[in-house]
C-alpha cells in the first residue's frame, strides 16, 4: 500500500508591523543580494577559476574523506588546519581564523567590530566605494552606520578622499578591488596604518595571489590590520567554501565568541589538507595562477583594440577580471544582453554606486576568452 503524501503546510504570514519590531529598519529597507543566472555555455560572471581541479587530485580528497567518521562532528574550529594555513601564508600559528568562505568572515567582522560605532566611541565605519557590495549590504543588514570612501574619477584609491578617522574607526577595503581591479599600494597602506594607529583597517585580499604586493609583512609592525583571504579564486575551490583571516590572536579570541563551531565539514577540511600539502596539487595551482595572469594581459590588449569600435574603456586589473566602462548604463546593458544571447554571461555591475555603464568580465580559459572576444567583435 502506497503511503499518502501529507498535505503541504503553508506557514501563516506574520503582520508586517509586528515583524518589524524584531529587525532593524535598515534590514527591511535593504535590497537582497542578487545574481543573474540565465542558462549559458560560457560563464564569466563570478571571478571563479576556469580550471577545475583534475580528477586525480579530487580522488585524493575523496580518499581522505572516506577515512573520516561521518557520524562524528569535525573539529570545532579546525585549529590544526588554521595553523597549516598560517605556515602557508607566512605568519605565526594562532593568528588565522577559518570560515565557510570569506563572505561569512566579512559579516562576522562587521558584526563584532562595527556595532559599537556611535555608542561606545566616536569612530566611524568607512567602506570603500565602489567595491564588493557585501560590505555595504552587511552594514545595512546589521543597522551599522557607515561612510563611503569614494574612489576617484579613474576608479583608483585616493587618500585625500578618505573621510576623517577618529579613534576607534574601522576602514574596510579590497586590494585588488572587486569589481574594479585597482589596488591600494602597500607603501600607502603602511602610511595609513602608521598615521592612524587607533583605526582598524580590514583589507580584503581575496585576489592577492594575482597582485604584486600582498600585505602580509605589514602585520608584524601594525596591530591595527586584519587581512581576509579565500581559497575560492587562485586556489580553484569556490565550490568548497573556505575563507580565512589573518590577525593578532586578540582579534581572533573576540571573533571566536560569535563564530559558531563546526562550520567546516569533513569535506572542506579534507580539501584544505590536499590543497596545502599535496605536491601534485601545489604544482597545479601554481600553473593555473600563471595561466590566469597570462590570460589577463592577452585579454587586456585584445579589449583595448575594441575600445573605439564598442565605445567603451577597459581598465587594467591586478585580479582575474577586467572592467569595461561605457558612457551610459543603457549602452552597457545592450552589450550585456547581446552576450547572453551569444551564450556568454558576464557581470552587469552598472547598478552599483560609481559603476554606471560598467560590465565586469572574469578571465576564462583560452577557449572561453576567445568566444567572448568573437562575440564582442560581432557587435
- Whether 141 contacts 30, CB under 8 Å: yes
* Backbone angle region of 195, left / alpha / beta, with phi > 0 → left and psi within -120 to 50 → alpha: alpha
The reported pLDDT for the residue numbered 333 is: 97
H or E segment to which residue 339 belongs: helix 329-341
Query: How far is Cα 51 from Cα 292, in angstroms, rounded to an integer?
Result: 9
**What is the grid cell recorded at 42?**
560560457
Query: How far is Cα 352 from Cα 134, in angstroms, rounded to an integer?
Result: 11
Angle between helices 134-142 and 102-113 (to 10 degrees): 40
Residue 313: helix, strand or coil by DSSP?
A: strand
Q: What is the CATH number of domain 31-52+281-377?
A: 3.90.1150.10
The reported pLDDT for the residue numbered 116 is: 65
CA atoms within 13 A on the CB side of 261: 7
CB atoms within 10 A of CB 157: 21
Query: How far is Cα 173 from Cα 70, in angstroms, rounded to an integer?
Result: 39
Tens digits of pLDDT across the chain (379 residues): 567 888 999 899 999 889 888 888 888 888 887 788 889 999 999 999 998 989 999 999 999 999 999 999 999 989 999 999 999 999 999 999 999 999 999 999 999 998 765 545 678 999 999 999 999 999 999 999 999 999 999 999 999 999 999 999 999 999 999 999 999 999 999 999 999 999 999 999 999 999 889 999 999 999 999 999 999 888 888 899 999 999 999 999 999 999 989 999 999 999 999 999 999 888 888 888 888 889 999 999 999 999 999 999 999 999 999 999 999 999 999 999 999 999 999 999 999 999 999 999 999 999 999 999 999 999 9
In terms of Cα–Cα distance, which of 41, 39, 32, 46 is closest to 346? 46
Residue with cell 572561453: 368
**What is the grid cell recorded at 52?**
577545475
Q: Is the dihedral of CA 87, 89, 102, 234 positive or negative?
A: negative
Domain boundaries, the chain: 31-52+281-377, 55-278
The reported pLDDT for the residue numbered 119 is: 46
- Whether 129 contacts 172, CB under 8 Å: no
Q: How far are the Cα atoms of 34, 113, 139, 171, 243 from residue 110, in angstroms, in the given order? A: 21, 5, 7, 10, 16
Residue 61: helix, strand or coil by DSSP?
A: helix
The reported pLDDT for the residue numbered 164 is: 94
Query: How far is Cα 117 from Cα 202, in angstroms, rounded to an integer?
Result: 16
CB atoms within 10 A of CB 293: 16
Q: What are phi and psi of 251, to 5 degrees?
A: -65, -45
Tell me 71's DSSP state.
T
The reported pLDDT for the residue numbered 16 is: 86
CB atoms within 10 A of CB 140: 18
Radius of gyration of the chain (CA): 22
Strand-by-strand arrangement of the 313-315 sheet: 313-315, 321-325, 358-362, 347-348
Query: How far is Cα 218 from Cα 199, in angstroms, rounded to an integer?
Result: 15
Q: Is 55-278 a domain of CATH 3.30.365.10? A: no
* Backbone angle region of 168, left / alpha / beta, with phi > 0 → left and psi within -120 to 50 → alpha: left
Pairing between β-strand 313-315 and β-strand 321-325 as defined by DSSP bridges:
antiparallel
Per-position DSSP letters for 273-302, written without gaps between them:
HHHHH-HHHHHHHHHHHHHHHHHHHHHHHH
**55-278 shares the fold of 31-52+281-377:** no
CB atoms within 10 A of CB 27: 13
Query: How far is Cα 235 from Cα 241, in angstroms, rounded to an integer?
Result: 11
First-to-last C-alpha distance (Å) of the chain: 61
Residues sharing a CB contact under 8 Å with residue 188, sequence separation 6 or more, in sequence order: 157, 159
Amino acid at each position: 500500500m502506497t503511503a499518502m503524501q501529507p498535505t503541504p503546510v503553508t506557514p501563516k504570514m506574520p503582520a508586517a508591523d509586528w515583524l518589524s519590531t524584531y529587525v532593524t529598519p535598515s534590514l527591511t529597507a535593504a535590497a537582497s543580494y542578487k545574481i543573474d543566472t540565465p542558462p549559458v555555455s560560457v560563464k564569466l560572471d563570478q571571478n571563479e577559476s576556469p580550471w577545475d581541479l583534475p580528477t586525480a587530485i579530487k580522488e585524493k580528497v575523496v580518499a581522505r574523506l572516506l577515512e573520516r567518521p561521518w557520524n562524528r562532528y569535525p573539529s570545532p574550529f579546525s585549529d590544526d588546519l588554521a595553523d597549516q594555513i598560517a605556515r602557508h601564508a607566512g605568519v605565526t600559528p594562532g593568528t588565522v581564523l577559518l570560515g565557510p568562505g570569506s563572505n561569512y568572515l566579512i559579516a562576522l567582522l562587521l558584526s563584532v567590530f562595527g556595532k559599537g560605532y556611535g555608542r561606545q566611541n566616536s569612530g566611524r565605519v568607512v567602506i570603500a566605494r565602489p567595491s564588493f557590495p557585501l560590505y555595504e549590504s552587511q552594514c545595512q543588514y546589521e543597522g551599522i552606520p557607515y561612510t563611503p570612501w569614494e574612489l576617484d574619477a579613474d576608479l583608483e584609491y585616493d587618500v585625500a578622499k578618505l573621510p576623517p578617522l577618529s579613534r576607534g574607526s574601522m576602514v574596510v577595503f579590497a586590494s585588488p578591488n572587486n569589481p574594479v581591479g585597482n589596488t591600494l599600494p602597500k607603501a600607502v597602506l603602511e602610511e595609513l596604518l602608521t598615521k592612524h594607529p587607533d583605526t582598524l583597517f580590514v583589507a580584503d585580499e581575496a585576489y592577492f595571489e594575482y597582485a604584486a604586493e600582498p600585505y602580509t609583512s605589514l602585520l608584524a609592525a601594525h596591530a591595527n590590520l586584519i587581512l581576509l583571504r579565500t581559497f575560492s579564486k587562485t586556489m580553484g575551490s569556490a565550490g568548497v567554501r573556505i575563507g580565512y583571516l589573518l590577525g593578532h590572536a586578540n582579534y581572533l579570541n573576540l571573533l571566536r565568541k560569535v563564530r559558531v563551531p563546526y562550520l567546516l565539514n569533513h569535506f572542506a577540511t579534507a580539501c584544505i589538507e590536499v590543497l596545502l600539502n599535496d605536491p601534485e596539487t601545489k604544482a597545479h595551482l601554481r600553473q593555473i595562477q600563471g595561466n590566469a595572469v597570462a590570460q589577463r594581459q592577452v585579454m587586456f590588449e585584445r579589449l583595448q583594440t575594441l575600445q573605439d569600435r564598442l565605445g567603451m574603456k577597459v581598465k587594467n586589473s591586478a585580479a582575474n577580471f577586467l572592467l569595461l566602462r561605457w558612457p551610459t548604463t543603457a549602452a552597457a546593458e545592450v552589450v550585456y544582453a547581446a552576450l547572453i544571447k551569444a551564450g556568454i554571461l558576464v557581470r552587469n555591475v552598472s547598478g552599483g554606486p560609481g559603476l554606471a555603464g560598467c560590465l565586469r568580465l572574469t578571465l576564462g580559459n583560452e577557449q572561453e576568452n576567445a568566444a567572448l572576444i568573437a562575440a564582442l567583435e560581432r557587435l
